[in-house]
A and B are shown apart, each in its own frame.
Chain A
Amino acid sequence: DVKVTQSSRYLVKRTGEKVFLECVQDMDHENMFWYRQDPGLGLRLIYFSYDVKMKEKGDIPEGYSVSREKKERFSLILESASTNQTSMYLCASIRRDSPHQPQHFGDGTRLSIL
């Protein structure tokens, strides 16, 4: 079974802090994704990566950056956290040669910015 692991289930940070959310997958997937989930808005794509050191902006990249130094790890960075970034963050991965198959999701990180 594919395992996508997000480092924290719950995280509380303060406004202005630099925040790192980590995601690791164990199935050698090339493509990885970061979403945020907000009530009534569904899941919105922040960034994705299709290879090491490669990244692409999703639909709502403002205020975020990402890092993909190793194939298995995809990090989401909030450069200077703000209260409107309080949300649930979900990481997902998929094989490049199976783009029409379902993505595999982690359990999510519920982030609160105070």
Chain B
Amino acid sequence: GDSVTQMEGPVTLSEEAFLTINCTYTATGYPSLFWYVQYPGEGLQLLLKATKADDKGSNKGFEATYRKETTSFHLEKGSVQVSDSAVYFCARGADRGSTLGRLYFGRGTQLTVWP
């Protein structure tokens, strides 16, 4: 099965609405977890990360907490803006002990925010 499962989109919200994009993972041990964002016509940018259990990553008003008990890393933002419209990817890093640094991605969630 997939290593990373994220909420399917598209997600459409009004400005200032609350956003949650769910993400769960499967792994051996406790890999690093990431959220990447892709704005229209661009490559992927790192949005936030967490490298161990209970870590909270945050950036640009977005947050995600590494929950080992539920193997989850849900992305949240309290008040979205039109400029947040993008595709969001959840990813997990390699299993501990690997030196290759490969990532396993979810399928992406398209977010559209209307004014």
Residues of A within 8 A of B (CB): 6, 31, 33, 35, 39-45, 48, 50, 56, 58, 90, 92, 94-96, 98-103, 105-108
B70 contacts A by Cβ under 8 Å? no
Number of A-B pairs, beta carbon distance below 8 Å: 70
Residues of B within 8 A of A (CB): 31-32, 34, 36, 42-46, 49, 51, 89, 93-94, 96, 98-103, 105-108
Q: Is the CB of B43 within 8 A of A99?
A: no
Return chain B residues, CB-CB under 8 Å to A107. 42-43
Return chain B residues, CB-CB under 8 Å to A50. 99-100
Q: Is the CB of A33 within 8 A of B43?
A: no
- Across the two chains, which residue of chain A brings its CB closest to B90? A42
Q: How distant is B21 from chain A, measured CB to nearest CB, in Å?
A: 13
Return chain B residues, CB-CB under 8 Å to A100. 31-32, 51, 93-94, 96, 101
Measured in the bound complex, the distance between the Cα atoms of B36 and A45 in whole Å is 16
Measured in the bound complex, the distance between the Cα atoms of B43 and A42 in whole Å is 13
Measured in the bound complex, the distance between the Cα atoms of B104 and A44 in whole Å is 8
Most buried by A among B31, B43, B49: B43
Q: Is the CB of A48 within 8 A of B99?
A: no
Ranked nearest first, the 7 interchain pairs of A and B with the lowest CB-CB distance are: A99-B101, A42-B107, A107-B43, A94-B101, A43-B105, A105-B44, A100-B32
Measured in the bound complex, the distance between the Cα atoms of B92 and A100 in whole Å is 9
Return chain B residues, CB-CB under 8 Å to A96. 99, 101
Q: Is the CB of B101 within 8 A of A42?
A: no
Q: Known A-B contacts: A100-B94, A102-B32. Give 13 more (CB < 8 A).
A: A33-B102, A43-B108, A45-B102, A56-B100, A58-B102, A90-B43, A90-B44, A94-B101, A100-B96, A101-B49, A101-B101, A102-B36, A105-B36
Return chain A residues, CB-CB under 8 Å to B51. 100
Q: Is the CB of B49 within 8 A of A102?
A: yes
Mind listing 20 A-B residue pairs with CB under 8 Å?
A6-B43, A31-B100, A31-B101, A40-B107, A42-B105, A42-B107, A43-B103, A50-B99, A50-B100, A56-B100, A58-B102, A90-B43, A99-B98, A100-B51, A100-B94, A100-B96, A100-B101, A102-B32, A105-B36, A108-B42
